[in-house]
Amino acid sequence: MPPLTRWFLKSALAYLVVSLLIGVTLAVPEALGLPSAIAALQPVYVHLFMVGFVAQMIFGVAFWMFPRYSKDEPHGNEHLALVTYVALNAGLIARTVAEPMLTLRPGAGWAAILILSAACQWLAALAFAVNTWARVKER
């Protein structure tokens, strides 16, 4: 298993745990005294699971298991794959902080970080699609 796949998969497992713990927190009844502001974590919960865990697990396994691009570059463009990993995780972590904060304390700073996180995640998806496209072949 290539090192980058190990990074993808271990990060994915970490997001799985964090997202499900947030899911538990969201399910705690208000009667137990948690602040109602905790509801601002709802979109973060969904995206940590679907992007952080599901998509990242797929990215890591595809980088490892898909047909080789060539003898010299079996995983395609490794730089593009690294961009995918860094941009996806930077974008997701920025979003995890900025999205609830924008809901609770709206301000230009949080808005700017949220837009930056959107750009990072978009870049990651495009980099993965481009690098993987060339490996979707007969052999």
Partner 1 sequence: MPALSRWFIRCALAYLALGFTLGAMMLALKALAHHGAVARLIAPHVEFLLMGWTLQLTMGVAFWILPRLEGGASRGAVGYAWLAFGLVNVGVIAAGLGPLIEGSETVRLLGRTAEAAAAIAFGLHAWRRVRRASVAGITMPR
Note whether 128 binds partner 1 by CB under 8 A.
yes
Query: Cβ closer to partner 1: 5 or 31?
Result: 5
How many residues can be counted in the chain?
Answer: 139
Q: Which of 79, 80, 57, 65 is nearest to 10 (CA)?
A: 57
Site for partner 1 in 37-76 (CB under 8 A): 50, 54-55, 58, 67
Note whether 115 binds partner 1 by CB under 8 A.
yes
Note whether 1 binds partner 1 by CB under 8 A.
no
CA distance readout (Å), 55 to 7, 51, 59, 92, 121: 13, 5, 6, 12, 11
Is residue 28 a contact partner of residue 51, using CB atoms and an 8 Å limit? no
Give the number of residues in contact with partner 1, rule: CB under 8 A.
Answer: 30
- The amino acid occupying position 29 is P
Binding window for partner 1 (CB under 8 A); candidates: 9-17, 21-29, 30-38, 95-103: 95-103
Note whether 89 binds partner 1 by CB under 8 A.
no
